[in-house]
Amino acid sequence: MDFISIKHIAYTFGSYELSYIELIGTVFGLLAVYWASRENIWTWPASLINVTAFFILFYQINLYADMFLQIYFLIVSIYGWYNWLQPKNKEDALLPISRMTQKELFIHAFLLVIGTIGIGYLMSQIHLWFPSTFTEPAAFPYPDAFTTTASILAMILLSQKKIENWLLWIAVDVVAVYLYYLKDILFVSVEYVIFLIICIFGYINWRKTLGVQITEEYYEI
């Protein structure tokens, strides 16, 4: 069990000690996001390793909302892996990219606001309700709740190959960079800077692919 402890150090960079569990989660997180931006099915097995490592990490640094989020990610990663392998046409190898409807956009915006408020309150009280399990108060419960809620919505959109997933991930990354910097997990904070860059690239790449798909559908008609 010592291997999964944040006190089990892999490398030291100046005064910063990088644990093995943080290193594993970070490396496979980067691979998962990069492969997603390229529409590569390997994003999902990499995601399974990433979320397992981060579940262990977040528990140890008291980011409980992020910890619970990894359970959801695990389930959706399995679903996404399956769903991407279900193309709409025989000619396609994978599920094609699509856009959200106006109704879907409204529903997701509403859920983002409600989820941030609701989860933020729950996380701010969880150490009072379950003191034996959560021995310290949650750190930054409402910013943590925003990244949690937005990530929940973005992950399901990614599993459905909706292009808007990248816009939510970009918002998550901006908040997470600062949040993890304040919690002194600098390697993860730097990772989210890289995530931000990859997500911008992913959005641009998916827009190009979606444009090609729309053009092809037009000529088929």
pTM of structure: 0.78
**Residues 6+ away with beta carbon under 8 Å from 139:** 61, 62, 63, 182, 183
Q: Is a pLDDT exceeding 80 seen at residue 4?
A: no
Mean pLDDT to the nearest integer, 180-187? 80
CA 43 to CA 203: how far, in whole Å?
Answer: 16
Q: Is a pLDDT exceeding 60 seen at residue 23?
A: yes
| Residue 142 structural domain | 2-220
Long-range contacts of 183-186 (CB under 8 A, 24+ apart): 183/61, 183/63, 183/139, 183/140, 185/22, 185/57, 185/61, 186/16
Query: For the chain, what is the domain count?
Result: 1
In the chain, what percentage of residues exceed pLDDT 90? 47
CA 95 to CA 14: how far, in whole Å?
Answer: 45
pLDDT tens, position by position, 98-157: 999 999 999 999 999 999 999 999 888 888 888 887 878 777 888 888 988 998 999 999
CA 30 to CA 20: how far, in whole Å?
Answer: 15
Q: Is a pLDDT exceeding 90 seen at residue 53?
A: yes
Q: What is the Cα Rg of the chain in Å? A: 18
